[in-house]
Amino acid sequence: MNLPRICISSLGGATHSIKDYFCDRIALAFAWIARHRSSNASNGSASSTEKNIPRPDRLPIKLILPSQGKEKRSDGGGAPPKPFRTVDAAYRRSLANQVSAVREALLPQMRQTGAAPVRVKLLTKATAKSHRPEKLFSTQTCPIVGAGKLGELFVKATPDGLAKLTSTIEENRTERVMKELSCVESIEAVTPLYRRKGLDPRDVLRHSPRGKKGFMARVRLFNFGADEDQPRLVDNFETLCRKRKLRISTAGYSPGSFIYEAECRTVEDVEALSRVVGVRSIVSMPLIRTLRPMMLNPTPLPTLQARGDVVGDVPTVVVVDRGISDQIPALESWVVGRESQVAPEYRNTDHGTFVAGLICWGSALNPTIACIDSNPCWLAQAATSAKTWAAGSLASWLIVTRSLVRNICSLPHRELKSDGKKR
């Protein structure tokens, strides 16, 4: 068998350009094909088992351009963090004093629960997620465990974490920490008044629906996540409820929501729950009432004035819509003219008829709304639709609509005689 022969003359030289490089690679590829064909011809009598032996795949050749490797990749990123305010010694001292005050206020409770939530307020202009102080309030100090209103964060505080936070506030001089320090407006403990949404305990009790032995309130606890201190937080709350003999239930709420129904008997019960360190909020239980729809209490329509029931002059109102129905005799008696440019497939008089009825009989159809003029009006239909001019432009639709209105306005003025007829 005669096999094609390939003459390769430039494989040994060095590649000086992209063109030479590709020429060498193409020549090598043809040489490999020639050897592969020659091997198959000489082994034509090989067994079928050998023919089915898988051959290793040839990985693609990576192309490296001449300039690649010489050019240094430019570093990404923008300008360094810019603080929102001057972070000087006085500002650091102010924040450190706030942390110390929180530590003194919560230390007795943290001895029982191991940790306590602390409220952090941010500047209004620093509420974006990109400004969140995650380096300042980290797992090494007091990690963020939730958020409240806009610019409000909750962190998990421990005695050791508060000490490290104070050290970070006073000593850390990195650009990122200084930027995050400038975002903080205040660091404070969660107060009973905050848990009650600013309400007095009497107001919480008064707004709560009545239960079997008291008033039903909804209590929500803080959620520290998959943390060993969370069960202690829950146990502290439930222990207080057992001591005060308050009935609590989680029926209707998911286990991970930590929301309870609590039946409070006195104002003192509300105040006691407001002081529990793990309570995030205590409010009146939402009350669901069934409202009887007005459609279930139908009443006959009032007497609607027709054209013959009114004496005197009335204004004319042009209804620019997709038409007014001509199947209502009392309403049709007020229509003085019709102009239409609506294609048949887009004709729908439902909305135009509804509007026309309100124009003529607004006070009669809405007897509970004051200050609605009871005088009727002449009606003129200027039926048009933007869909009709879908292939054109909005300007075309406006031009046609204006033309329809002009045609209506050119109708002769109508006045009612004493006998109710037009003249």
Using CB atoms within 10 A of its CB, is residue 121 exposed (0-12), middle (13-18) or buried (19+)? middle
First vs last C-alpha separation in the chain: 113
Q: Show me where the domains of the chain are located.
A: 1-45, 89-190, 194-284, 307-409
Using CB atoms within 10 A of its CB, is residue 232 exposed (0-12), middle (13-18) or buried (19+)? middle
Count CB-CB contacts under 10 A for residue 417: 10
pLDDT of residue 372: 83
3-state class of 383 per DSSP? strand
pLDDT of residue 373: 82
Distances (CA, A) of 234 to 95, 216, 220, 226, 241: 30, 19, 11, 13, 11
Count CB-CB contacts under 10 A for residue 43: 11
Task: Say yes or no: do domains 89-190 and 194-284 share a fold.
Answer: yes
> Token match 């060993």: residue?
228
pLDDT of residue 129: 85
Classify the phi-psi angles of 231: left when phi > 0, otherwise alpha if psi is within -120 to 50, otherwise beta: alpha
pLDDT in tens, the chain (423 residues): 444 443 434 444 444 455 565 566 666 666 666 666 555 555 554 444 445 555 555 555 555 566 665 666 666 556 778 899 999 999 999 999 999 999 999 999 999 899 999 999 999 998 888 889 999 999 999 999 999 989 999 999 999 999 999 999 999 999 999 999 999 999 999 999 999 999 999 999 999 999 888 999 999 999 998 888 899 999 999 999 999 999 999 998 988 899 999 999 999 999 999 999 999 999 999 877 776 666 677 778 788 888 888 887 788 888 888 888 888 888 888 888 887 877 777 788 898 899 988 888 888 888 888 888 888 888 877 777 666 555 455 666 666 667 766 766 665 555 444 344 444
pLDDT of residue 364: 85
pLDDT of residue 228: 86
What is the CATH code of the structural domain delimited by 194-284?
3.30.70
Hey, what CATH class is 89-190 in? alpha beta
pLDDT of residue 11: 41
pTM here is 0.53
Using CB atoms within 10 A of its CB, is residue 264 exposed (0-12), middle (13-18) or buried (19+)? buried
| Nearest alpha carbon to residue 221 among 210, 212, 211, 232 | 232
- Classify residue 387 by its DSSP letter: G
